[in-house]
Structures are given as structure tokens and as C-alpha cells.
Amino acid sequence: MTRYLEKTVYIKENILDKLEMLAKKNSLSLSTLLNHIFTKYLESRNGYDQLEEKRKSARKKVVIPALVYEKTQNGGNGEDFDMGRYISTTIFDISRGGLRLVVPAGKNGGMQFAKPQSEFEVISYLSGNSTLFRLKCRAEHIEQNENGVKVGSSFVEEANFQMDKLEVYCLQK
């Protein structure tokens, strides 16, 4: 469980305005953006204790816009047919085995994919890569707070050519 400590920090108004614009541009809350900035800074200074990695593949921290496609079952006149919808999200870490994404508060109404073991598809261009990735995922861990919903997921039905490109991407600094 994540522990939050509330502190008051004074920031010059012009810097705060720029941070708020950046957070809005990336559909993040200001606190999420600041947490990401501080974490990256501490990691770069080797002052951030990483928890021992439990996963087969190490995670790469990223901030990448993406879409989630979730199928829904609807019936009409006694017939079932597949429909779906796209939900805007952000990928915050990725590995050969899965990814973690966040859907901001206010954009998560009626989401079906943010339930344990539900399957969905993540669609995104990874930074610096011209390949459109379509990754089938299964929700493994869901965490909801006032800023939105975090979904940790594993990949299912891996396409080898995409996994090879994903592995290369994850190894890049």
C-alpha cells in the first residue's frame, strides 16, 4: 500500500503556473506530476530506494499517452453483439511482461476494464518508435484514489514481433 505524507511546499507563482499547464497538457493532477518529477530526480541521484523487483522483467518508467479499448456486451432484439469504446489513459511503466496505466479522475466513468482479471487492449506509440502497438492485457492490480484509477496489467496473446520491439524499447535508457 502506498503511504502519502502531506507537506506544505512553497513554490514561486510563475513556476507553479508552468507546472499546472504541464499537468493539464498531460491529463494529470498536479500532485501526480510532482510525484513523478521528484521520483525521477531521486532515481537519477541514486537516492531512491527501489523495492526489490518481483517481476520477471524490470519495469521502465515512462509517461506515454495511450488508448484503452474495452469490449462491452450488448443485446438487441434477443441478439448479442460486441461493441466497445476507447478510453484515454497514460502508461506510467512498462516491461516485457505488462504495464501500469492511469486513468484520471473524471474520465473513468463506467469503465469495465478496471476490474480484476478483465481483458482489454492498450493502443499506443511508444516514445521514439513509429510502430503502433496494440497490446492485449489482463488487469491484475487496481488502485483507486481521488486522482484516478491505476491499473497494473499483464500481457496476454503476445505478438512476437511486437514483443521483440517492446523488449528493445524497455532496454533503452
71 found inside a domain: yes
Domain of residue 147: give its range. 60-171
40 and 118 assigned to the same domain: no
Q: Does a structural domain hold residue 52?
A: no
- The span from the CA of 114 to the CA of 149, in Å, is 8
Q: Do 138 and 81 sit in the same domain of this protein?
A: yes
Let me know whether 75 and 104 are in one domain. yes
Domain annotation covers residue 5: no
If asked whether residues 31 and 115 sit together in one domain, one would say no
Regarding whether 28 and 65 lie in a shared domain, the answer is no
Tell me, what CATH number does 167's domain have? Answer: 2.40.10.220
Q: Residue 114 class from Cβ within 10 Å (0-12 exposed, 13-18 middle, 19+ buried)?
A: buried
Chain centroid to CA 27: how far? 12
Three-state secondary-structure class, residue 59:
coil
Number of domains in the chain: 2
Residues 24 and 68 in one domain: no
Comparison of pLDDT for 114 and 23, the residue scoring more: 23
User: Does the residue 67 lie in any domain?
Assistant: yes
Tell me if the pTM is above 0.85.
no
User: Is 49 among the domain residues?
Assistant: no
Burial track 77-86 (b if 16+ CB lie within 10 A, e otherwise): eeeeeeeeee
Find cell 491529463 and name the residue.
27
Q: Using one digit for the tens of pLDDT, what is the confidence trace for 15-47?
A: 889 888 888 887 777 877 777 777 777 666 654
Residues 85 and 131 in one domain: yes
Q: Is the pLDDT of residue 53 over 50?
A: no
Residues 20 and 73 in one domain: no
Whether 64 and 39 share a structural domain: no
Q: pLDDT tens for residues 120-172? A: 899 998 877 787 888 899 999 888 888 888 999 998 876 666 777 777 777 77
**Does 70 share its domain with 29?**
no
What span, in angstroms and rounded, lies between the C-alpha atoms of 43 and 59?
A: 13
In a domain, 118, yes or no: yes
Q: Residue 24 has what pLDDT?
A: 85
Q: Contacts for 55-59 with beta carbons within 8 Å, 24 or more apart?
A: 55/95, 55/97, 55/98, 56/96, 56/97, 57/95, 57/96, 57/97, 57/170, 58/95, 58/170, 59/93, 59/94, 59/95, 59/100
pLDDT of residue 65: 93
Residue-wise pLDDT tens digits, 118-132? 888 999 988 777 878
Residues 84 and 161 in one domain: yes
